Structure 1
Amino acid sequence: MNRFSLAHKTLRLLAAQVNLNGTFRHLCSFKNTNLPLIFVLEVERVSSATLFTITTGAEKHSLTVYDPDKDTHLVLADFIESIANGRMDTAEPATPRVGAESIERGQLLDADQQEQLHRLARQGGVLLLDVGLQEPVCLAVHRTRSRTGITAILATGDSCPRTQCFTAYGDDQHSVKRLLQSLDHLVASAAPAALAA
Structure 2
Amino acid sequence: MADKTLRLLAAQVNLNGTFNHSCSFKNTNLPLIFVLQVERSSTNTLFTIVTGDEKHSLTVNDADKDKHLVLADFIESIATGRMDTAEPATPRVHAESVGRGQLLDANQQEQLHHLVRRGGSLKLDIGLDEAVSLAVHRTQSRKGITAILVAGDSCPRTQCFTAYGDDQHSLDRLLQSLDHLAASAAPAAPAALAA
Higher relative contact order (CA 8 A, sep 6+): 2
In our comparison, the structure showing a higher alpha carbon Rg is 1
